[in-house]
């Protein structure tokens, strides 16, 4: 089970001031990047403030932003920014614009700065953060094209690079930066970020070794215990996962992820009532998470509580109408209830939101057959065969001919 949610991760939507606060709070306001100096002298007609004056301007602008006087900070920074004098000015100006609610202008300022200083890590990370927050994963990745982590790179920048690489499925790149981040800034946070890059690659044995070696140091960290328990679950070490999750809950009873994962562990152990209790607690803590309703629905299915399962699936779709597994399961229920037309509606939604769902195509083939539409049924069978091949590529995984009478595959 991959921790795709990165439940502890640094949020891409960090407030504008925090996005560049490392430049000032970490003392890097006194550090001018190597590429900044040539920019100052490349155009004799451009007037840039002296270093001391520039630092005073940055300090004053920072103080104004701390007082939420963003427009005053913008007015102070714009003259120096127009001269392309130093990337720090552009970064703080973008933060002031974003803090004042003008994200498009902040984006434009960072894009311009990135064109002037394309290898500046701070500019690249800040621009990538804005792109990622807007769902522009491709642009976020492009912004990091010349990102280069060193021992002097602030941890916030490396964390943002990891999140961007994970969002773009550049898992090896994410792991490399996460390893550097943990090396230069060792902490439970950077350790778990590294663990997540491994989990995203399905490397749970490596996660168990990595975190197991640090168990004594972080035994009182709920985040650590939950991350370790997730990989223990993937390795079918259910007793250890259960103990770690129970310990995490004792340390932080309001932790959604711990209750959700404990529900999964108890479901595997056939402790139905215990699993139901944990899922319901997780729903109380995070009612917007559709996967919790879905897992609860599967437990109710095992109890043969069809009405209860359907009700919970309706709640899952109310939380997120694009959650494909819930649509697929609802389609199965309706099909078994001899309502193929209604089933088709949900199953088409399932393949729309998850085009690689074998179960949904299989059920669609059955639903169309029940409606007497042989052409559409055969089309779904062919699509299922193609999807199986896509999901399991390679010369030894040739998809067999599918019969709609065969048992359904797992989700």
**Packing angle between helix 222-234 and helix 204-212, nearest 10 degrees?**
140
Digit-coded pLDDT (tens) for 267-308 = 999 999 999 999 999 999 999 999 999 999 999 999 999 999
C-beta separation of 88 from 77 below 8 A: no
What is the average pLDDT score of the chain? 87
Phi, psi (5° rounding) for residue 184? -85, -25
What is the residue-wise DSSP string for 317-339?
Answer: HHH-TT-HHHHHHHHHHHHHTT-
DSSP H helix total and E strand total for the chain: 22, 0
Digit-coded pLDDT (tens) for 103-122 = 999 999 999 999 999 999 99
pTM value is 0.78
CA distances for 251 relative to 209, 244, 246, 287, angstroms = 23, 11, 9, 22
The band of 4, judged by pLDDT with boundaries at 50, 70 and 90, is very low
- CA-to-CA distance for 294 and 264, rounded, in angstroms? 11
């Amino acid at each position: 089970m991959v921790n795709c949610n990165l439940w502890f991760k640094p949020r891409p939507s960090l407030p504008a001031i925090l996005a560049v606060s490392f430049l000032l709070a970490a003392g890097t306001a006194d550090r001018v990047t190597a590429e900044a100096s040539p920019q100052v002298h490349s155009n004799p007609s451009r007037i840039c403030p002296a270093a001391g004056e520039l630092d005073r301007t940055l300090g004053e602008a920072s103080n104004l932003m701390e007082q939420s006087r963003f427009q005053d900070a913008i007015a102070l920074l714009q003259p120096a920014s127009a001269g392309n004098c130093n990337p720090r000015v552009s970064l703080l100006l973008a933060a002031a614009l974003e803090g004042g609610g003008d994200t498009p202008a902040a984006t434009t300022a960072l894009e311009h700065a990135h064109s002037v200083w394309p290898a500046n890590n701070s500019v690249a990370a800040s621009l990538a953060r804005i792109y990622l927050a807007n769902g522009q994963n491709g642009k976020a990745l492009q912004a990091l094209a010349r990102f280069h982590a060193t021992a002097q790179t602030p941890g916030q920048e490396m964390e943002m690079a990891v999140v961007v690489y994970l969002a773009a499925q550049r898992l090896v790149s994410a792991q490399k930066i996460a390893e550097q981040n943990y090396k230069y800034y060792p902490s439970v946070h950077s350790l778990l970020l590294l663990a997540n890059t491994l989990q995203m690659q399905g490397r749970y044995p490596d996660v168990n070794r990595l975190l197991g070696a640090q168990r004594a140091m972080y035994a009182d960290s709920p985040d650590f215990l939950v991350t370790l328990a997730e990989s223990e679950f993937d390795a079918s070490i259910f007793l250890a996962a259960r103990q770690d999750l129970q310990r995490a809950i004792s340390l932080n009873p309001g932790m959604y992820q711990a209750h959700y994962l404990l529900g999964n562990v108890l479901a595997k152990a056939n402790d139905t009532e215990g699993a139901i209790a944990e899922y319901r607690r997780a729903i109380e803590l995070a009612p917007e998470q559709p996967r919790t309703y879905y897992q609860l629905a599967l437990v109710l299915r095992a109890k043969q509580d069809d009405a209860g399962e359907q009700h919970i699936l309706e709640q899952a779709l109310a939380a997120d109408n694009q959650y494909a597994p819930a649509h697929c399961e609802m389609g199965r229920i309706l099909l078994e209830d001899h309502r193929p037309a209604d089933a088709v509606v949900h199953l088409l939604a399932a393949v729309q939101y998850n085009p690689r769902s074998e179960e949904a195509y299989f059920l669609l083939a059955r639903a169309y057959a029940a409606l007497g539409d042989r052409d559409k049924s055969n089309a779904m069978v062919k699509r299922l065969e193609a999807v199986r091949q896509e999901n399991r590529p390679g010369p030894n995984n040739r998809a067999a001919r599918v019969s709609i009478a065969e048992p359904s595959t797992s989700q």
